[in-house]
């Protein structure tokens, strides 16, 4: 639990595919709507999805690639919010903090200015572990 008595959710977002980004962002936006502090630490393919234009390009993994077009069409018909919409909604709550994994940035030659402006902090794994060890729910997507 956080110092302000709020419950705390900490998610490592390792994946960059649409299904798993949605999973993380639906959990996160539900959590902020429930007044929980939400911490998302983006690493590997998840970090790459935070590059400008990255969230818009996310598709399904190889196993489900054949369902991608159908899923995107259905989401359009449902007027389902995009991953970036969900991220902005969480951000607007004032309860979301977004971390970009610094070793991943070095590994993939991603610079701070390549990332969407919603990123709060560039940080190593220690920062995440510190937060996660005080969280009520810890997950890796």
* Interface positions with its own copies (CB under 8 A): 7, 9, 12, 14, 17, 19-20, 22-23, 26-27, 30-31, 33-34, 36, 43-45, 61-64, 71, 74-75, 78, 80, 103, 106-109, 124-126, 128-130, 132-133, 135-141
Nearer to its own copies, 98 or 110 (CB): 110
CB-CB neighbours of 127 under 10 Å: 16
CB of 117 to its own copies, least distance (A): 26
C-alpha to C-alpha distance for 82 and 76, rounded to whole angstroms = 9
Nearer to its own copies, 92 or 129 (CB): 129
CB of 121 to its own copies, least distance (A): 16
Q: Which residues 6+ apart lie within 8 Å of 85 measured at CB? A: none
């Amino acid at each position: 639990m956080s110092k302000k008595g709020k419950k705390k959710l900490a998610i490592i977002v390792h994946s960059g595919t649409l299904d798993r980004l949605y999973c993380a962002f639906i959990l996160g936006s539900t959590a902020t709507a429930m007044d929980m502090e939400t911490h998302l630490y983006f690493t590997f393919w998840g970090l790459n999805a935070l590059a400008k234009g990255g969230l818009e390009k996310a598709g399904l993994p190889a196993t489900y690639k054949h369902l991608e077009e159908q899923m995107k069409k259905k989401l359009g018909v449902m007027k389902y919010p995009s991953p970036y919409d969900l991220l902005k909604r969480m951000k607007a709550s004032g309860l979301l903090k977004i971390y970009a994994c610094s070793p991943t940035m070095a590994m993939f030659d991603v610079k701070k200015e390549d990332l969407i402006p919603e990123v709060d902090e560039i940080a190593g794994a220690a920062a995440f572990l510190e937060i996660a060890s005080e969280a009520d729910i810890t997950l890796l997507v």
